Amino acid sequence: MAFPWQNLFYVLAAACNREEHTMNEHEHFMQIALEQAEDALAHGEFPVGSVIVHEGRVVASGQRRHTLEQKESVNEIDHAEVLALRSLLARETAVDPSELVVYATMEPCLMCFSTLILNGIRRIVYAYEDVMGGGTNLPLAQLNPLYAKMEVTVIPHVMRQQSLGLFQRFFANPENQYWKDSLLANYTLNQ
Ligand SMILES: [Zn+2]
């Protein structure tokens, strides 16, 4: 029978290795989400990208749409995470949502956070914090029973600097009207 402390050592060593592996994996998938955000920016859209990962494989992706028409109307539905989830639901039917990890280049807003957790997703990784509209600090324990028992893991600031760079490019362009002169725009440009 092994000495208990020895077992503890092995458990801790395994946990450390796993954490290191996970961080590299997070960066790998965030890079793919950042490419979605870059593509959105190239089309004049707000630079948010998202990918959904299952067992080490990207199973869906999305990027922010319809911010260009912001002058005429407001579209706060076609967010990157919602479009990625729609794309996943259209294709994959047999995936356990608790096994999915959602990567987003900006902290999910209240709508996206709620939509993801209501669809069974429990792990969310994001790059740049949304100091104006981020919704991941929703106090689930204070809500009704369906939400109160949800255990959601949110990992912030994976490749934050790369994502910040895209938002700085977006807000520095005077042509872009979406959230122009907002708290988020000022916060982003003043760093
Ligand atoms: Zn959103």
Q: What percent of the chain has pLDDT over 90?
A: 81
Cβ(68)–Cβ(45) below 8 Å:
yes
Query: What spacing in Å lies between the alpha carbon of 28 and ligand 1's midpoint?
Result: 22
- d(Cα 88, Cα 83) in Å, to the nearest integer? 9
Q: How far is the CA of 15 from the centre of ligand 1 (A)?
A: 32
- Whether residue 92 lies in the annotated active site: no
Summarised one tens digit per residue, pLDDT across range 57-67 is 999 999 999 99
Q: Quick one: which of 182, 183, 179, 190 has its CA closest to 47?
A: 179
Catalytic residue among 19, 25, 35, 81: 81
CA 36 to ligand 1 center in whole angstroms: 15
Burial 126-162 (b: 16+ CB within 10 A, else e): bbbbbeebbebebebeeeeeebeeeeeebeeebbeeb
**3-state DSSP call for residue 74?**
coil
* Distance in Å, CA 104 to ligand 1 centroid: 10
Ligand 1 geometric centre to CA of 17 (Å)? 33
**What is the value of pTM for the model shown?**
0.87
Q: How many angstroms does the Cα of residue 10 sit away from the middle of ligand 1?
A: 41
Those residues whose beta carbon sits under 5 angstroms from the ion ligand 1 are 79, 109, 112
State pLDDT tens for residues 90-146.
986 678 999 999 999 999 999 999 999 999 999 999 999 999 999 999 999 999 999
How far is Cα 191 from Cα 186, in angstroms, rounded to an integer? 9
Q: What is the pLDDT of residues 125-137, one digit of tens each?
A: 999 999 999 999 9
